[in-house]
Structure 1
Amino acid sequence: MREQIVILWFKRDLRVVDHAPLAAAAACGLPVLPLYIVEPDYWRQPFASSRHWHFIHDSLADLHGMCARLGQPMAVHTGDAVAVFKKLHSAFDVTAIYAHEEIGNDWTYKRDTQVLAWCAETGIALHEFPTNGVVRRLKTRDNWAGIRNRRMAQPCVATPAALTPLGARNTGFELGALPDKADALFGAPPPGAVQRGGRAEGEKLLQSFLTTRGRHYTAHMSAPGLSEIYGSRLSAHLTWGTLSAREVDQATAKCQAQLSGEAARAWKRPLAAFRSRLAWRCHFMQKLEDQPSIEHKAMHAFFDGMREDSFDPELFAAWQAGRTGYPLVDACMRNLTANGWITFRMRAMLVSFASYDLWLDWRQTGYVLARLFTDYEPGIHYSQLQMQSGVTGINAIRIYNPVKQSYDHDPDGAFIKKWVPELTDVPSAFVHEPWKMSRAMQQESGCIIGQDYPEPVVDHRAAVPAAREKMARIRKMQGFSDASKMVHAKLGSRKRTRRKARSGARAPAAQLDMLNLLDG
């Protein structure tokens, strides 16, 4: 007779702290088998990369030890999820599966649908628990913020003292092995470094951010280079679930409450800004939950087909390689390729430049960025791609000037020269626009434009008006406004913003929050 057990299915929640499925499984009274499934077809998708796997691998190694200390080591099986569950059900009498609701992409949604159907056919209960502040089957956006905030205020779920292990007769059950980081299953090796994963690393980052680094968060979060130091750098840990959004939010709130005097004045704005971005993170993930099609289709249907037929492979290759002739764009792309992370403002600039200056489709550029980002979070990724390429129909068209951004955020060119060494000896006065150097100056600085460093692949001053004209033609089409209202009703923020009091006034707080969403 097969032993009755329940399965705890880990996905993007690689921790044992504040883990509702774990607590519920432990409380059911049956042996609990923690399980992670390595799904080969997932790793063949255009958004997946070995950089993700390296971070996940670190996190799973950490998680394996945590589960073992609770009394039952974690199983790691490779294969299709339904096939793995069938195999386990043939070895055990699986009565239930416990898991978090995954706010993933279309691939994971279809996989979860298949697992749900198999559970229904087999008579196995599938218990799913909410992820962060995302609400499944949300009827209206009007009350979402309240639901999210109440969830964040609830106490973190306590880690159970122990898991009931498999019975003695199953001590020889093959738990499986964690594939190597270099396994060919995960594709080509990462093109650069990978942020270290695992809960212990996440806890260190959170502690250092709340005690030292975060003090200068708002001052430096948009600056390439400095943002790597003063940003929280927790995004990958939130993405893969080594930390929960709730425990990070509550740790930040606790820090706020303990401040006084000069420390309170210095830390008030940075910590409030960080918590605001945690809320916006849930907001954008909710968009994908409410409309999974935004991975493939524009939120506003009128924009579908706008760029697809204009794809230029040479411009795409130049953008991907960091050889567009615009120094800050190229430095950011090379930095991202090497490190797997860059501040949100620079992410937005990369998408804006690709979408408006190069007129590349956001779906194609989005896959490149997804593979490069260690913190690839589908809910944020596709919402932001659409916002920064202007296809939501509910957000203002925001086109970044790569030269202005360069002067504003890297005034002395230090970041540019670090990542675009061709410009190392170019005078600072010309590092943002090296094509303006005379031939003699190019020779003197050892950088011949068009030879050592490319000429601009497009003229920003000409490309932007052309892009605006194309966008305007669509926005003037009959029915566009009505369709925009429908998009806003389903996906738009309900946060109020004040009108500008005068020309040149600061953007509303909500807009600034969105622009800087991932600067943490």
Structure 2
Amino acid sequence: MASDTAVVWFRRDLRVHDNEALVEACEAGEVLPVVAFDPREYGERAFGGDDSFRFEKTGPYRARFRRESVADLRERLRDRGSDLVVRHGRPEEVVPAVAAAVDADVVHFQTLATPEERAVENAVRKRLREVGVTPSRHWTQTLYHLNDLPSPYTDISDTYTSFRKSVEGDATVRDPLPEPDLPRAPVGDVGAGPLPTASGLGVDEVEYDERAALAFEGGESSGLDRLDRYLWREDRLRKYKDTRNGLLGQGFSSKLSPWLNAGCLSPRYVHAAVDRYEHERVSNDSTYWLVFELLWRDFFQFQFAKHGADFFGQGGIRGRDDIDWRQDDAALERWAGGETGIPFVDAAMRELNATGYQSNRARQNAASFLANTLRIDWRKGAAYFETQLVDYDPASNYGNWAYIAGVGNDSRDRSFDIVNQANTYDGDGAYVKRWVPELSDVPAEAVHEPWELSDTEQAEYDVQVGVDYPEPMIDLEDRHRTLR
């Protein structure tokens, strides 16, 4: 028998389509959707654990994206005859209070993989039970459902290829759930509430930078539009594998990650769209590769469900203690500010700081430079990315950083030859010149190693290394050499 009143607590599932928590809630006579802006997600926080440090939890780009996403969800719910209660407060206080105010029988919500997210969820469940409300969890963040894995998540392989072959051979992706009919929302009993302002969350207001690869606007509406544009209107999926390592422009990759990670897009919905594309347009390595990337995302979600807090230790899930990590705040600051004197790294970091986004190729090089070349505690780099990225996801971010640093799912040396990477993926220097304008007059063959320019060439190209643009902070030929 359906309950009389249900509450849906939206977390990182800010969508109406393919949302099991919402679908199940809509079996009730009344359904009240609610979202809480947790103040612990904003402002300065301690990282925790051994060798802890402080960092900003959420920067302006993701804060803006989340506010836009919540605003869009509210509009979509209102268009369907419902509404959304918005609060700025701890979920374990907000959700039980709203449930009690409308005499709810059950609260449906998304369950997530990482320890911090689980801790919030457990606190909410505890308080709900104290007030006599049933908590109901739903796994909605991955392509493959947790219950459909060929083995329990605690037994899955720690190697991506083995995991991928296992699920591709012995599991099935569920069909996306349809949008439910939304019952009445008793919002009048509690009040809808305003969206918090940026200043109310303690973050700066930022404008879209015209140099950005894409104006990432939050919300299910924008996410669905981006998917439609990439697949259907611009027909780019057929060449994705060939273009995915691009650095400039909006079309070289799908750029769906902000909407996937905020839950504005369901990975199963994306998978179904790729399926349809393969039937109606073309099926090739490129169309498969987008699903391949969704599987990487799944892999890290399940890895964090399996290993938990071990991923956040300096030695990672391998417990490595054979790496001499350096503590050098000045060097970390130069890296974060895009002032290392290595143009490809600086371009990547300046793009991140100005837009909240980097391509995958830029991320890998920036991460490798900090973790493998400078040997600075990789977690500080990962935490900086957590602050800045518009598409931050805890499992993907920290999983990939640990992977690059050799303390995660692959302990091999993942050190990148930065100059070689720059020449391979930015051969004409256009990416560096966009984000490091000090080097705009330097020819492509020299722009990635300006320290090699003679005094005469520097004068000719209107750049003085050490004055207009920093000298490199390390000799890339000998990364163990003392920093300059």
TM range (shorter): 0.7 to 0.9
> 1:34 corresponds to which residue?
33
**Is the 8 Å Cα contact of residues 6 and 105 (structure 2) preserved in structure 1?**
yes
> 2:289 corresponds to which residue?
273
1:464 Cα deviation from its structure 2 partner: 6.3
The alignment of Structure 1 onto Structure 2 pairs a total of residues equal to 451
Measure the CA separation in 1 of the matches of 2:102 and 2:301: 36
Residue 333 (structure 1) aligned to one of 325, 349, 368: 349
Q: Kindly tell me: are residues 464 and 108 of structure 1, through their superposed partners in 2, closer, same or farther at Cα, counting changes over 3 Å?
A: same
> 1:223 corresponds to which residue?
246
> 1:453 corresponds to which residue?
469
> 1:19 corresponds to which residue?
19
* Long gaps (5+) in structure 2: 46-55, 210-214
Map 1:146-161 → 2, pairs under 5 A: 153-161=173-181
> 2:366 corresponds to which residue?
350
Tell me whether 1:407 sits opposite 2:408 in the alignment: no
Q: Taking structure 1 as the reference length, what is the TM-score of the superposition? A: 0.81
Measure the CA separation in 1 of the matches of 2:381 and 2:122: 28
Letter of the structure 2 residue corresponding to residue 43 of structure 1:
Y
Measure the CA separation in 2 of the matches of 1:31 and 1:153: 31
- 3-state SS in 2 of match to 1:183: helix
> 1:98 corresponds to which residue?
108
**Is the 8 Å Cα contact of residues 96 and 128 (structure 2) preserved in structure 1?**
no
- 3-state SS in 1 of match to 2:447: coil
Residue 65 (structure 2) aligned to one of 55, 59, 64: 55
**Is the 8 Å Cα contact of residues 49 and 190 (structure 1) preserved in structure 2?**
no
Tell me whether 1:125 sits opposite 2:99 in the alignment: no
> 2:433 corresponds to which residue?
417
Residue 254 (structure 2) aligned to one of 218, 223, 232: 232
> 1:83 corresponds to which residue?
93
Q: Kindly tell me: are residues 41 and 209 of structure 1, through their superposed partners in 2, closer, same or farther at Cα, counting changes over 3 Å?
A: same
Identity of matched residues, %: 26
> 2:75 corresponds to which residue?
65
Letter of the structure 2 residue corresponding to residue 19 of structure 1:
N
> 1:9 corresponds to which residue?
9
**Is the 8 Å Cα contact of residues 247 and 362 (structure 2) preserved in structure 1?**
yes
1:393 Cα deviation from its structure 2 partner: 6.5
Q: Kindly tell me: are residues 13 and 150 of structure 1, through their superposed partners in 2, closer, same or farther at Cα, counting changes over 3 Å?
A: farther
Measure the CA separation in 1 of the matches of 2:322 and 2:262: 33
Measure the CA separation in 1 of the matches of 2:402 and 2:207: 26
Further displaced range: 392-401 or 91-100? 392-401
Further displaced range: 289-298 or 124-133? 289-298
Measure the CA separation in 1 of the matches of 2:265 and 2:430: 34
**Is the 8 Å Cα contact of residues 106 and 295 (structure 1) preserved in structure 2?**
no
Q: 1 or 2, which has the higher helix percentage? A: 1
- 3-state SS in 2 of match to 1:128: strand
Deviation by residue 1:291-322 (Cα, 9 ceiling, x = unmatched)? 221452133454258445x2111211111111
Measure the CA separation in 1 of the matches of 2:323 and 2:192: 50
Tell me whether 1:246 sits opposite 2:261 in the alignment: no
> 2:48 corresponds to which residue?
none
**Is the 8 Å Cα contact of residues 236 and 375 (structure 1) preserved in structure 2?**
yes
Q: Taking structure 2 as the reference length, what is the TM-score of the superposition? A: 0.87
**Is the 8 Å Cα contact of residues 101 and 189 (structure 2) preserved in structure 1?**
no
Letter of the structure 2 residue corresponding to residue 173 of structure 1:
V
Q: Kindly tell me: are residues 59 and 389 of structure 1, through their superposed partners in 2, closer, same or farther at Cα, counting changes over 3 Å?
A: same
> 1:496 corresponds to which residue?
none
Map 1:492-507 → 2, pairs under 5 A: none
RMSD between aligned residues: 2.5
Tell me whether 1:378 sits opposite 2:401 in the alignment: no
Letter of the structure 1 residue corresponding to residue 184 of structure 2:
T
Letter of the structure 1 residue corresponding to residue 93 of structure 2:
A
* Long gaps (5+) in structure 1: 467-520
Further displaced range: 293-302 or 336-345? 293-302
